[in-house]
Amino acid sequence: MEADVIVIGAGSGGYAAALSLSKHGKKVILIESEKAGGVCLNSGCIPSKAFLYMASQYYNKENEKIGITCSSKIDLVKFQEWKYGIIQKTIDNILAGCKKAGVEYISGRASLMPGKRGKLDTGIEFSAENIILATGSVPRSIPGFTFDHSRILSNEDILAMTEVPLSICIIGGGAIGVEMATFLAKLGSKVTVVEALAKILPNTDDDVSRAVVRSLKELGISIHVNSMATCGETGPGGLQVHINTCPEDSLAFDKILIAVGRKANIEGLGLKDAGIEIDEAGFIRVNEKMGTSQPGIFAIGDVIGGAQLAHKATQDGLMVADTIMGIESDYSMLTPYVVYSDPEVASVGMTETEAKGIPGTIVKRYYFAALGKALAMNDTRGFVKIVAAENGQILGVHIVGHESSNLIGEALLAIEKKMTVKDLAKLMHPHPTLCEALGECARAFKD
């Protein structure tokens, strides 16, 4: 089996690369060992957002302040049917996209051999002028907490659940831990979050973290930072967990979720046989063009570490496709981040903390509490924060608030195009909208 390009992994990055290459005349084979769409579609981004949507619908079902009273119940079996229906529709769209673009899609597990060759688990061998590795990542466990997928769970186990746990200890206060804590608490679980570092969402500024923590606590979530957890024996009350900063000897939980990050999905990929190097953290080592240690073999997305985000993987795939076609790639690698907490967090560019080392930087905030649309939506939590250079150029934008994931695109464009706060302030934002907060924040800067 031969092709111009073989892509191993049909997630966000692999699919984007395959379609781009095929549309430019390359013969492309796309190989996937699980389901088309990868982790993001099947057990990550899309299922978690479906859970967050459902949980918010349930949690906000009654609001006497605005005149709504009603009752409802949770049926996770029915929810899972709806969720899997969404996933299957998207898988069908991906496969249809491959067919339309002329990409040959093969289900199977691939492993590499020397010299830009490999074989499937069926024994069929393949070769190509170029190979792209886009195999993604898998949940990372920690010592003392081995996944058993019934009591000690990964995020993928949570997203497949058909019963709401009575209580759960979430180890890890990053994006995955915070998102799952949010929807589990809204569905009625008693949630405890344990984070080893000094704050929840460690990569955000302190004011952003504080805003999220405040909302998590309003949901009844218990939070322990600068803390370590160890797993004890199973007792009458459930799984015993000792938290070193907690006065009790141990706490009992129905379930434990390990949300401490993800590792490269490279088991059985044959990297050693192909002479492909991995780094100290176990990710495939690549250069600035996503090339591995073997000429003609590239790696993209989660499997190379860094920002493990579907949109980053997509951009990687498009950039590598350009490289293979001999095109000087001009895709932007400015990466926006979103945490689907409640309220949401969205960031792009330099944080306030990072900007402190640059003389003359200015930071301004505008709070949604002053915005008419936020008042009308009965959700005035959060703010827009702009970090600007001394000359007014926008260096970073950070939003905490309702639908911030849908507001950050404007900020991304502003930074990419090197706009100043004066440029942003001059734009006419529609009224009443949440995006007005960006313009108001820009106008807070002096000329």
Is residue 340 a contact partner of residue 52, using CB atoms and an 8 Å limit?
yes
CA atoms within a 13 Å half-sphere pointing along the CA-CB vector of 22: 21
Is residue 48 a contact partner of residue 184, using CB atoms and an 8 Å limit?
no
Residue 222: φ, ψ to 5°:
-90, 135
3-state secondary structure of 22: helix
DSSP string, 307-321: S--HHHHHHHHHHHH
Q: Which residues pair with 366 in a beta bridge?
A: 384
Residue located via tokens 């970090």:
387
Q: How far is CA 341 from the centre of its chain?
A: 12
Give dist(CA 387, CA 369) in Å, integer.
20
By CB atoms closer than 10 A (0-12, 13-18, 19+), residue 76 is middle
3-state secondary structure of 284: strand
- Kindly provide the b/e burial profile for residues 37-49, where b requires at least 16 CB atoms within 10 angstroms of the residue's own CB: bbbbbbbbbbbbb
Give dist(CA 65, CA 49) in Å, integer.
27
Q: Which two structure tokens, joined as six digits, stand for 262?
A: 């993800």
The length of the chain is: 447
Q: CA dihedral defined by 43, 28, 93, 134, rounded to 10 degrees?
A: 20
DSSP string, 123-163: S-EEEEEEEEE---EEE--BTTB---SSSEE-HHHHTT-SS
CA distances from 114 to 106, 272, 276, 354 (A): 21, 9, 10, 43
Give dist(CA 389, CA 273) in Å, integer.
49
* H-helix segments, 161-201: 175-186
Q: Which two structure tokens, joined as six digits, stand for 309?
A: 């985000």
Give dist(CA 167, CA 219) in Å, integer.
14
Q: How far is CA 37 from the centre of its chain?
A: 14
Q: Which two structure tokens, joined as six digits, stand for 173?
A: 């206060």
402 belongs to the catalytic site: no
Is residue 200 a contact partner of residue 216, using CB atoms and an 8 Å limit?
yes
Q: Which of 149, 224, 398, 431 is catalytic?
A: 431
Cite the active site residues.
431
